[in-house]
């Protein structure tokens, strides 16, 4: 979470799924985008996940929105085809599609918690 003048301007919510940390929600207020705040938060979460023994990060996002999948890809996330993903990721993508969210994809980033 990031605050400025007592207002939240960015936040991330995540939960553990075994040794994988799944990012549920990540947002930076429009007027604060492009300043590196999102990268700083994602780097902090990545460091925390590695320090706590997680082996990868995952998320679902819009495939073609510039500040979604392309942003995560620039950070090291890769497309995670549904057929290769665990059931909870496939179910999440189906639920999102059924809720009207189109052009969604799953992504993952492998971590090296042992420093390798």
| pLDDT, tens only, 57-112 | 999 999 888 778 888 999 999 999 999 999 999 999 999 999 999 899 999 999 98
Give a three-class secondary structure readout of 58-69: EEEEECCCCCCH
| pLDDT, tens only, 25-44 | 999 888 888 888 889 999 99
CATH superfamily of this structure's domain 2-110:
Gcn5-related N-acetyltransferase (GNAT) (3.40.630.30)
31 Cβ contact partners less than 8 Å away, ≥ 6 residues apart: 9
Show the tokens assigned to 78.
């890769």
The domain locations on the chain are 2-110
- Whether the model pTM is above 0.85: yes
Q: How far apart are CA 32 and CA 61, in angstroms?
A: 20
């Amino acid at each position: 979470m990031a605050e400025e003048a007592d207002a939240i301007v960015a936040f991330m919510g995540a939960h553990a799924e075994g040794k994988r940390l799944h990012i549920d929600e990540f947002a930076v207020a429009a007027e604060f985008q492009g300043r590196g705040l999102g990268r700083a938060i994602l780097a902090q979460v990545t460091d925390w996940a590695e320090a706590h023994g997680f082996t990868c990060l995952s998320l679902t996002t819009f495939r073609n929105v510039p500040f979604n999948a392309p942003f995560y890809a620039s950070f090291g996330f890769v497309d995670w085809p549904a057929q290769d993903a665990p059931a909870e990721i496939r179910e999440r993508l189906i639920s999102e599609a059924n809720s009207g969210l189109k052009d969604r994809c799953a992504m993952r980033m492998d971590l090296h918690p042992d420093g390798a």
